[in-house]
């Protein structure tokens, strides 16, 4: 598949993850009487990955996440020369999604952006967890997200079913991580909303790039040892 089509798939996939996932938090989580709560938000994020994995996974590989791209590279499953274009496409998709979500949400009278589904530590953490707690949680959660992604797409895994455990894994991560950091494990997803949430959230973005990338890269190294890596040219 040529690069423009692959990048387009990554942009749209990351757009959908950010728009529908963060949108579930911004538009529906606290809606009076009918709010879906953080349980619904957790499933929403899992469903965005599940649906896009089957929609465009065969085109781009279905990363939709800078950490996933870097983790797959570390695991010997992705060309080094393709990493930067993928990351750019993912970040652009997330920013576009956040911009349109902001435009929609701000159309409601007396609406206030508050955190706008952004990630944070300390005072910006939903549960007021400190920097070290948030850093460790993001590293560990992203490690296991990549561990599941690579394991379910490796030789010998059930063919055609990887999207299901990957989507459910992201759901599980959100179930325990929302109270800690509001659940990132995805630098692109963190960047888009932060740009509209304000300078305090932008100042903390470094953690939501560094921690997921470290966790993903470590998972790539571990799975390279555990699983037979395909030839990547």
| DSSP per-residue letters across 75-109 | TT-S-GGGHHHHHHHHHHHHHHHHHHHHHHHTTST
Query: Which tokens belong to 169?
Result: 């894994």
pLDDT band at 33, cuts 50/70/90? low
Please say if the pLDDT value at position 133 is more than 90. yes
pLDDT digits (tens, 9 = 90+) for 49-66: 999 999 999 999 999 999
pLDDT, residue 36, reads 87
The residue behind tokens 């995805």 is 186
- 227 vs 174, residue with greater confidence: 174
| 88 close to 37: Cβ distance less than 8 angstroms | no
Please say if the pLDDT value at position 231 is more than 80. no
Per-domain boundaries in the chain: 3-226
Confidence (pTM) = 0.94
Cα dist from 195 to 36, 118, 192, whole Å: 25, 9, 6
Cα dist from 115 to 66, 126, 135, 151, 162, whole Å: 22, 10, 19, 34, 33
Enumerate the H helices of 24-162 as residue ranges. 37-60, 66-74, 83-105, 131-152
**CATH code for the structural domain at 3-226:** 1.20.1080.10
């Amino acid at each position: 598949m040529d690069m423009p089509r692959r990048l387009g798939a990554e942009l749209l996939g990351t757009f959908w993850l950010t728009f529908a996932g963060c949108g579930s938090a911004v538009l529906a989580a606290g809606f009076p009487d009918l709010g879906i709560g953080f349980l619904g938000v957790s499933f929403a994020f899992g469903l965005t990955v599940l649906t896009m994995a089957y929609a465009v996974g065969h085109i781009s590989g279905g990363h939709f996440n800078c950490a996933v791209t870097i983790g797959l590279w570390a695991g010997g499953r992705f060309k080094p020369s393709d990493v930067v274009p993928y990351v750019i496409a993912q970040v652009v998709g997330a920013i576009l999604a956040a911009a349109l979500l902001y435009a929609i949400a701000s159309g409601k009278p007396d609406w206030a952006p508050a955190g706008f589904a952004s990630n944070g530590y300390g005072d910006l953490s939903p549960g007021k967890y400190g920097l070290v707690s948030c850093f460790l949680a993001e590293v560990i959660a992203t490690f296991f997200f990549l561990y599941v992604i690579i394991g379910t797409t490796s030789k010998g895994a059930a063919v055609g079913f990887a999207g299901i455990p990957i989507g459910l894994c992201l759901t599980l991560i959100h179930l325990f991580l929302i109270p800690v950091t509001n659940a990132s494990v995805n630098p692109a997803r963190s960047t888009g909303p932060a740009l509209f949430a304000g300078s305090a959230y932008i100042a903390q973005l470094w953690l939501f790039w560094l921690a997921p990338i470290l966790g993903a890269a470590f998972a790539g190294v571990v799975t390279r040892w555990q699983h037979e890596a395909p030839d990547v040219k």
